């Protein structure tokens, strides 16, 4: 038998017309397919397929959001670049961009970056 879907009537007709050797093959295929169906049910393959689709959609949304973050200016406006606030802004964004780049390029979750406001203190 092939992987095409047939009705029970078609299967019975094929069974009745088949030689003994062919009936043995059909019975083995039915047993094998029943076992496969049981394993799929026990392993929740249908549920996993739905979860995988959901995770892929989440992943696509997350990549879109991360791309938007990457599009935010990495430096403060020229008028704000001097002074402690401008330097803190720059250091903060550098750590954020590094974490985002790492997440996008490696697929790994980066470790929590250090607080940039504490890094200059000795």
pLDDT tens across the length of the chain (122 residues): 456 788 889 988 988 999 999 999 988 988 888 888 888 777 777 777 788 888 888 888 888 887 777 777 766 677 677 778 777 877 887 787 788 777 777 665 545 545 444 444 43
d(CA 48, CA 45): 5
Q: Structural domain boundaries of the chain?
A: 8-42, 57-106
Q: Quick check: 119 and 91 in contact, CB under 8 A?
A: yes
- pLDDT at position 47, please? 74
d(CA 95, CA 82): 19
Query: Which two tokens mark 19?
Result: 């030689």
- pLDDT at position 74, please? 67
- pLDDT at position 1, please? 44
């Amino acid at each position: 038998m092939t992987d095409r879907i047939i009705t029970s009537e078609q299967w019975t007709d094929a069974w009745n017309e088949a030689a003994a050797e062919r009936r043995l093959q059909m019975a083995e295929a039915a047993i094998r397919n029943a076992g496969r169906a049981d394993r799929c049910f026990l392993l929740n393959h249908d549920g996993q397929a739905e979860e995988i689709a959901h995770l892929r959609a989440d992943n696509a949304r997350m990549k879109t959001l991360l791309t938007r973050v990457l599009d935010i200016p990495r430096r403060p406006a020229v008028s704000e670049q001097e002074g402690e606030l401008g330097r803190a802004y720059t250091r903060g964004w550098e750590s954020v961009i590094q974490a985002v780049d790492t997440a996008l390029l490696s697929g790994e979750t980066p470790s929590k970056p250090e607080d940039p406001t504490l890094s200059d203190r000795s």
